[in-house]
Amino acid sequence: MGVARRGKATYETTNVWIRGTGSVVGPNEGSGPLKGQFDRVWPDEQNGQTTWEKAEQAILSEAYDEALRKSETDWSQIDLVVGGDLLDQIVTTNFNGRTHQRPLAGVFSACATFTEGLGVGAMLLGGGGLERVMVSAASHHQTAERQFRFPLELGYQRTPTAAWTATAAGAVVLANERGPLRIEAVTFGRVVDLGGKDPNDMGSAMAPAAYDTIQQHLADTGQSAGDFDAIFTGDLGHFGVEMLIRYAQEKQLDLSEVLDDCGRSLYDADQQDTHNGGSGPGCSASVFAGPLARRLVQGDYRRLLLVATGALFSPTTYQQGESIPCIAHAVAVVREEASR
Amino acid sequence: MTFLWAFLIGGLLCVVAQLVMDWFRMTPGQVLVIFVMAGAILGGLGIYGKLVNFAGAGAAVPLPGFGYTMVEGIGQAVKQKGALGLFTGGLTAASGGIKAAVVFGLVAALIFKPKS
Amino acid sequence: MDSEKARYQQLTQEMMPRRPVLRNAIMAFVVGGLICVVGQCIQWFFMHQGMSAKEASSPTAVVLIGLGALFTGLGWYDRIVKHGGMGGTLPITGFANAMVSPAMEFRTEGLVMGVGARLFTVAGPVLVYGMTAAMVVGAVRWLITGVA
């Protein structure tokens, strides 16, 4: 057990394991290229709930259920819940606390909330005293649209760089007893703002933040990008990935071989009309808790760096003409072969 | 013949609005505000009235027609009531459309639920 | 840092996928034109009932707004605008869509602050600046020509 500092912003954790993951997504997410790799897929975006907000709470609750079931854990064994979402006052996560009744630490880094939660949870576990921590993040297309953009039935044309907030939730049970996957190190990002102002192009705004955190992680741990089987950013989307590869190239870091993006892989852009790709805290959370965790366990990857990216603006700040500050947090996840 | 002109002029106005939105990266709301004001100004200059006579619904149905209608209403009202007409004329002329939008909007909100 | 910002923004502009301007313009033309033809048909119907073109324009607007509200309620209008862009937004049916869609959306927040207040979130600016511009234009024309 323990946490050791490496370099400027990275912490190596020992004996922090992922015991089980739960992922639940909406119909669009469940019928895209990652079809069949989530635990549950909702038949429609509302799934019998009376409001979109309740639907978001319900999808997170189901992700909790799946994570608990697969990790053979009962709520009473969870010492702390670390989670967040996109809605004001992180209501989705907080309202779920009414029912699960476990100690709750809400976190917020917009769409980077999931890796922030994983990082905080891993360090607390590594630090000792806790035995099991639930980490979660969720988002819902309809609730995010009404908070950040326009009413659903208002006609408007999306631009090619606009992101599609995913209806999705992911939850992970971390434990200090051996599980299939181990959290090796976490890097907390700093806020990077290179002046992007367009809320319909968050990919290019977030790419420099992703670069900053990735290079910090590599520098702090003395690794190169090739030491990972894959580096997954959160929701840069098609355009953001292009921008990140180009921007990193200028800084002498070649990411083109290993880089992929959760938001980009979630939808089929041609068939599903999702433009730049998926976004939202639930995007990276569900893609990790479903497909990526599966690939790690099955052996497609052994070492994965998950770098969720967040745009830290509000509707008020962009209407006031402020640029969009961005952040990214990185978590390195490895599969440990059974030692005996 | 009016039908053809309605199609052409109405379509062209929409194309101009689309180009303004795409080139200047405006939001639809900004474009609508500009076009309703442009309709009022062109109406005051007597240009939009000619377009309406010529293209019928092609000029009346797009939003500049709304600005034009209000300017025309003000003209009528000022003739009858003087300065008070500046305040009453615009909404009197546009009242059908506005009230329809409010009533139908309210009814639709009570009947329908947003889907996607 | 500022030069890095400027350089990055320039790079973004260079690499940004282009909007399909030509296709958008063609679609706006067709969709906007067709809606106006529908409007012309309705106006023609009212003129057939003995109204003048001018008298017929008000009931025409009412019918079009009713259709716009109905299509919005059925969930069709956002699809029309997705393809037709300003061709769907600029006609008065788009104005109806702008009023109905937020009212529907915020129905869950109650009848007063939900539906009542939100009817005007998108349409409000159009009314405010449309009314103001019309009044200013009317006043100027009155001052210059003596007839409003």
Q: Which residues from C are below 8 Å from B108, CB to CB?
A: 69-70, 72-73, 100, 103-104
Mean pLDDT of B2-16: 96
Q: Which residues from A are below 8 Å from C93, CB to CB?
A: none
Chain-centre distance of CA A223, in angstroms? 23
pLDDT at residue A256 in the model? 95
pLDDT at residue C148 in the model? 58
Alpha helices in A84-189 (DSSP H): 91-100, 113-127, 141-148
Name, in order, each residue with C-beta under 8 angstroms of C50's C-beta and a sequence gap of 6 or more. none
Answer whether residue A170 is part of any domain.
Answer: yes
- Using CA coordinates, name the residue in chain A closest to B29: A156
Say how far apart CA A172 and CA A164 lie, in whole Å. Answer: 24
Task: Write the DSSP symbol of residue A288.
Answer: I
Answer whether residue A340 is part of any domain.
Answer: no
* Tokens of residue A269, six digits: 């852009």
Least confident of A38-42, A283-287, C76-80: C76-80
End-to-end Cα, chain C, rounded Å: 56
CB-hemisphere CA count at 13 Å for C39? 38
pLDDT at residue A150 in the model? 77
Interface with chain B: mutation pick from C19, C22, C30, C37, highest number of B CBs within 10 Å:
C37
Written in H, E and C, the secondary structure of B15-38 is HHHHHHHHHCCCCHHHHHHHHHHH
Confidence of residue C128 (pLDDT cuts 50, 70, 90): very high
Judge: C105–A153 Cβ closer than 8 Å, yes or no.
yes
Tens digits of per-residue pLDDT, A71-115?
A: 999 999 999 999 999 999 999 999 999 999 999 999 999 999 999
Shared domain for A193 and A285, answered yes or no, is: yes
Coil, strand, or helix at residue A309?
strand
CB-nearest to B116 from A152, A156, A198 is A152
Would you call A152 an interface residue with chain B, using a CB distance cutoff of 8 Å? yes
Mean pLDDT of A265-276: 92
Say how far apart CA A165 and CA A59 lie, in whole Å. Answer: 14
Tens digits of per-residue pLDDT, B26-38?
A: 989 999 999 999 9
Residue B47 has pLDDT above 60, yes or no: yes
CATH code of residue A230: 3.40.47.40
Q: Which residues numbered 23-62 in B keep a CB inside 8 Å of some CB on A? A: 25, 28
Shared domain for A170 and A191, answered yes or no, is: no
pLDDT at residue A305 in the model? 98
Shared domain for A235 and A94, answered yes or no, is: no
Q: Roughly what angle, to the nearest 10 degrees, separates helices C53-73 and C21-48?
A: 120
CB-nearest to B114 from A152, A156, A198 is A152
Say how far apart CA C90 and CA B15 lie, in whole Å. Answer: 10
Smallest Cα distance from A201 to chain C, Å: 9
- Using CA coordinates, name the residue in chain C closest to B58: C36
The identity of residue C75, as a single letter, is G
Shared domain for A113 and A28, answered yes or no, is: yes
Mean pLDDT of C16-39: 95
Q: Are strands A230-233 and A303-311 parallel, antiparallel or unpaired?
A: parallel
Q: Which residues from A are below 8 Å from B115, CB to CB?
A: 152-153
CB B21 within 8 A of CB C85: yes
Say how far apart CA A94 and CA C23 lie, in whole Å. Answer: 45
pLDDT at residue A267 in the model? 96
Least confident of A144-153, A254-263, B80-89: A144-153
Shared domain for A325 and A213, answered yes or no, is: yes
Say how far apart CA A132 and CA A68 lie, in whole Å. Answer: 11
End-to-end Cα, chain B, rounded Å: 39
What are the distances in angstroms from CA B107 to CA A50, A197, B100, C77, C119?
20, 38, 10, 16, 11
pLDDT at residue A61 in the model? 98
pLDDT at residue A318 in the model? 87
What are the distances in angstroms from CA A55 to CA A66, A117, A162?
17, 22, 24
Coil, strand, or helix at residue A73?
coil
pLDDT at residue A156 in the model? 81
Would you call B58 an interface residue with chain C, using a CB distance cutoff of 8 Å? yes
Interface with chain B: mutation pick from A143, A149, A157, A161, highest number of B CBs within 10 Å:
A157
Residue B113 has pLDDT above 90, yes or no: no
Q: Which residues from B are below 8 Å from C148, CB to CB?
A: 74-75, 77-79, 85-86, 89
Shared domain for A161 and A209, answered yes or no, is: no
Shared domain for A198 and A122, answered yes or no, is: no
Residue B67 has pLDDT above 80, yes or no: yes
Judge: C89–A152 Cβ closer than 8 Å, yes or no.
no
pLDDT at residue A1 in the model? 58
- Dihedral over Cα of C17, C20, C22, C28: its sign: negative
- Dihedral over Cα of A28, A32, A36, A38: its sign: negative
Kindly report the number of other CB atoms within 10 A of residue C134's CB atom. Answer: 33
CB A24 within 8 A of CB A136: no
Mean pLDDT of C53-58: 91
pLDDT at residue A338 in the model? 61
Judge: B101–C28 Cβ closer than 8 Å, yes or no.
no
Kindly report the number of other CB atoms within 10 A of residue A249's CB atom. Answer: 12
**Which residue, A152, A175, A198, sits at the end of a domain?**
A175
Shared domain for A131 and A193, answered yes or no, is: no
pLDDT at residue B65 in the model? 96
Q: Which residues from C are below 8 Å from B102, CB to CB?
A: 99, 119
Q: Which chains are adjacent to chain A, needing at least 3 Cβ pairs under 8 Å?
A: B, C
Say how far apart CA C97 and CA C92 lie, in whole Å. Answer: 9
Would you call C142 an interface residue with chain B, using a CB distance cutoff of 8 Å? yes
Would you call A161 an interface residue with chain C, using a CB distance cutoff of 8 Å? yes
Round the average pLDDT of chain A to a whole number and report it: 95
Shared domain for A61 and A39, answered yes or no, is: yes
Interface with chain C: mutation pick from A51, A147, A157, highest number of C CBs within 10 Å:
A157
Answer whether residue A272 is part of any domain.
Answer: yes
Mean pLDDT of C120-143: 94
pLDDT at residue A340 in the model? 41
CB-nearest to C119 from B75, B97, B105 is B105
Expressed as residue numbers, the domain containing A225 is 187-332
What are the distances in angstroms from CA A294 to CA A127, A299, C111?
27, 8, 47
Round the average pLDDT of chain B to a whole number and report it: 94
**Which residue, A146, A175, A204, sits at the end of a domain?**
A175
Mean pLDDT of A23-40: 97
Residue B115 has pLDDT above 90, yes or no: no
The total of structural domains in chain A comes to 2
CB C91 within 8 A of CB C82: no
Mean pLDDT of C9-33: 95
pLDDT at residue B116 in the model? 60
Shared domain for A204 and A328, answered yes or no, is: yes
CB-nearest to A153 from C16, C88, C104 is C104
B60: nearest Cα among A211, C54, A18: C54
- Using CA coordinates, name the residue in chain B closest to C72: B108
Confidence of residue A12 (pLDDT cuts 50, 70, 90): very high
Shared domain for A215 and A279, answered yes or no, is: yes
CB A206 within 8 A of CB A326: yes
Residue C147 has pLDDT above 50, yes or no: yes
Residue C124 has pLDDT above 80, yes or no: yes
Q: Which residues from A are below 8 Å from C102, CB to CB?
A: 151, 154
Answer whether residue A339 is part of any domain.
Answer: no
**Which residue, A147, A175, A203, sits at the end of a domain?**
A175
Answer whether residue A337 is part of any domain.
Answer: no
Say how far apart CA C19 and CA C135 lie, in whole Å. Answer: 37
A-C contacts at Cβ under 8 angstroms: 92
Smallest Cα distance from C102 to chain B, Å: 9
Would you call B82 an interface residue with chain A, using a CB distance cutoff of 8 Å? no
Say how far apart CA A176 and CA A18 lie, in whole Å. Answer: 9
Name, in order, each residue with C-beta under 8 angstroms of B52's C-beta and a sequence gap of 6 or more. B59, B60, B65, B68
- Using CA coordinates, name the residue in chain B closest to C83: B18
CB A26 within 8 A of CB A167: yes
CB A282 within 8 A of CB A137: yes
